[in-house]
Amino acid sequence: MVSEVRLASLPVVLSDYLWKTSHKFCSSGSDPFADAFGGNDDQIQDGLIHIRIQQRNGRKTLTTVQGLSSEYDLKKIVKACKKEFACNGTVVEHPEYGEVIQLQGDQRENICKFLVKCTLASAEQLKVHGF
């Protein structure tokens, strides 16, 4: 009973925190997902969040999330995901894609539900890749 309450309140607390830290960007009417490449107007971003799975060795896999807005604190998102999915994760810097979230295991469905539940992304913005 206690764990259900704690898990149920987690997305609300996270979305409240993210709103408090990024409301100045959203109040101007601009879309926080419009440019995931860091403010370069020359590049056109499709506004999608790409969720991919990468095979490691044997049955081991990595789930990567690329395209989240840089206004969000990705380390806090990873911390919440690690608790909810019972997996390990980190934020890595990719030379082409910027900051990318990596989670251990096949977490594609879980991360999709989590991002929609926390209102970080709509279902139309999510693009799931993999086998």
Q: What local confidence, expressed as pLDDT, does residue 11 receive?
A: 52
> What is each CA distance from 21 to 14, 18, 73, 86, 101, in whole angstroms?
11, 5, 8, 26, 19
- Cβ atoms < 10 Å from Cβ of 118: 20
Which residues contact residue 123 at a Cβ distance below 8 angstroms, ignoring those fewer than 6 apart? 112, 116
pLDDT, tens digit (0-9, with 9 covering 90-100), for 11-64: 554 555 444 444 434 444 454 445 544 544 333 356 899 999 999 999 999 999
Alpha carbons 5 and 120: distance in angstroms, whole number? 21
Predicted confidence (pLDDT) per residue in 63-102, tens digit:
999 999 888 999 999 999 999 999 999 999 989 888 999 9
